[in-house]
Structure 1
């Protein structure tokens, strides 16, 4: 996601940055400089190295690394003396990532170049809705800090936006394409259910409440299996409060990412099962098997039952995936690299 956002910004920024007697050229360098970094100080140092290597005037690193300081999510930091800055995309939230990235980038360029005309809200980053949900605040650092300027959100409301941004960076809808064994087991089990008249009758007898409960349990089971079987649960390395909150954020984002991803898989499989059932099973055959007239709702019930069975079987199929494959499917690049390093160290 950082690469896609950055390349789109690179096309638009020169015109937006246009100033009298100044011609801007924006270059993009895609490199995992933040994969092994854990704070903005290291990222700024790496960004400075990249800037010197490319002979740039300024350098801004966009990363999907979630950064917090003093309990506050960090949106961006700028070292004006070294002409480098870092923007943390998760702190911008899970929606309108490009618009907010553009706004914070324009603010950071103004910080680096010394142009601060028009006030802190000149690009609309801190609008009325943002101030209600998670206001962005500007802080000037003292001499003991690495960065000169820091933009943060509030501790509580900003944490929810940060969590949404972390889930968005993991791209949960793409999970289904990385769990081929789980998907194959789910499809095979659904096909078995479609061919069994006994399962038709069982599904027909289940009420709506039980169907919903079965769907919830099947999704929760696959999420639980993925986390436990592939070591996705983050553990605390110390007893510090900061570590506890950081681990809580990572684990919550993992559960949310997997739940959304498996939920998308469930819905996709349900649509496929419904289409196949309506095409393969004639209404007369279904009516004679169930013992009563079969309308469209009966097909919905059957497809729902097949899908729940398939997702449960997908939990077993996911055991055939390697830990690395599951991490690649469940996380963005930086987070996948971080967890791979932790696994190797342990």
Structure 2
């Protein structure tokens, strides 16, 4: 029996690893011609404080030796890149029995299937079985949208590397980074924003003034209001909770753009999920609670489903705008946990801690400089007061 260990980062990578452990043995037996495979999943944040494939391979090798596995593969949501090209997988040169796969490079769609295909190819490299073409990783659609290239790595620690092309692979990498952040959990993780959005929506549904305003708005103005509400909450979350990546923490400009783009798309997707769910609740509530005759008497005309849709859109937009303000009651750590996966949240927390320590040092330096300046000013003042006294004493001696 061949033993395989999957060392996964917590959160999304661990779900993928569990799925692989469940479905992979049958595929491995078919494609790698091995009798039986034993797969164990270990959740360990191997990539939380690391930034490249070599460091992850070293950590994965330590886990392999600790558990006595024949092979080990790290499963991470760290976006690996080499010469501006997304890296899907690295196979060790120094450690010949370990590899690592990067989930974001697989894209945002069908991550479990693509991870299985990639892992079969990686194990084919580790075991010496040439089964990578049979894994399904190289399909016509993949070759058209985001081609995958296998190459010998120019490194002492990495033997083989699977990478995507620069331009098309970058788009897939970005969607994979957003998928790893699981944006639909964003608002559920912020109770203050959700409570403010719900309370304001209820107010909008019960206000006859809101009914009249919603009835007067045309289609294009309703669309603009929806976009503005989502943009307001997105901007508020990013700026208020310092989610924007700064050059001082990420010197690589392209990497910084990827992080910031994934943040914006994650927040937009999360707020969009909030809007859809809140709209469905408001539409159901308005149809159930507001009588058509009462609504007709308020807006001054016959009403139909379109009136209820307009009312639900107005109440939802108000709720999302209020949710932006309510999110200000959440602390930065809560928002990071809601907006990102475990590894990225840890990286952002480290940045926040470094920023706070730097600000504290700058404040201490400023205080020390001010204290020194005040001390010099006090000494100069004492000298100025002492000079007239010395002159008066000198004049007294002269008169004597």
TM category, shorter: over 0.9
TM-score by length of 1: 0.96
1:324 aligns with 2:338: no
> Aligned equivalents of 1:220 and 1:258: distance in 2?
10
Partners of 2:34 and 2:64 in 1: CA distance: 23
1:93 to 107, 113, 122: 107
Specify the alignment match of 1:315 in structure 2. 324
Is this contact kept in 2: 1:34–1:63, CA < 8 A?
Answer: yes
- Distance (whole Å) between structure 2 residues aligned to residue 331 and residue 21 of structure 1: 38
The CA distance in 2 between the partners of 1:239 and 1:278, in whole Å, is 50
1:278-299 per-position Cα deviation (integer Å, ceiling 9, x unaligned): 1211111100111101111111
1:164-203 aligned within 5 A: 164-203=175-214
- Contact 1:136–1:151 (8 Å) recurs in 2: yes
Q: Cα offset for 1:80?
A: 4.6
The partner residue of 1:122 within 122, 129, 134 is 134
Compute the displacement of 1:21 (Å): 6.4
Deviation at residue 100 of structure 1 after TM alignment: 0.8
Query: Conserved in 1, the CA contact under 8 Å of 2:93 and 2:157?
Result: no
Residue 155 of structure 1, aligned match among 166, 176, 196: 166
CA distance in 2, matches of 1:95, 1:257: 15
Deviations 1:166-197 (A, max 9, x none): 00011111112112111110111111112211
Equivalent residue number for residue 59 of structure 1: 72
Matches within 5 A, 1:1-346: 1-18=12-29, 22-82=35-95, 83-116=97-130, 120-142=132-154, 144-237=155-248, 243-346=252-355
Aligned-pair Cα RMSD in Å: 1.4
Give the conservation status (yes or no) of the 8 Å contact 1:121–1:127. no
Q: Deviation of residue 239 (structure 1)? A: 9.0
1:255, distance to aligned residue in structure 2 (A) = 0.4
Query: How much does 1:13 deviate?
Result: 2.1
Contact 1:34 1:334 in 2 (8 A): yes
Query: SS of 2:302's equivalent?
Result: coil
Secondary structure at the residue paired with 1:17? helix
Q: Distance in 1 between matches of 2:118 and 2:51?
A: 21
SS at the partner of 1:122? helix
- For the pair shown, the structure with the greater C-alpha radius of gyration is 2
Rounded to whole Å, the distance in 2 between the matches of 1:232 and 1:190 is 27
Residues 53-100 of structure 1, C-alpha deviation per residue, up to 9 Å, x if partnerless? Answer: 111111100101101110100000001552111000000001111111
Q: For 1:121, what is the secondary structure of its paired residue?
A: helix
Shift of 1:12: 2.2
Quote the Cα distance in structure 1 between the aligned partners of 2:28 and 2:208: 66
| Residue-by-residue CA offset, 1:106-155 (whole Å, 9 max, x unaligned) | 11111111112x5x42212111111111101001124x431100000000
The list of structure 1 runs, each at least 4 consecutive aligned residues, that deviate by more than 6 angstroms after superposition, is none
Residues in 2 aligned to 1:312 and 1:292: alpha-carbon distance in whole angstroms: 29
Q: 1:67 to 1:239 in 2, by over 3 A?
A: closer
Q: Which runs of 5+ in 2 are unaligned?
A: 1-11, 356-400
Partner SS for 1:37: coil
- CA distance in structure 2 between the aligned counterparts of 1:231 and 1:50, rounded to whole angstroms: 35
Contact 2:249 2:351 in 1 (8 A): no
Alpha-carbon distance between aligned partners in 2 of 1:21 and 1:134, rounded to the nearest angstrom = 31
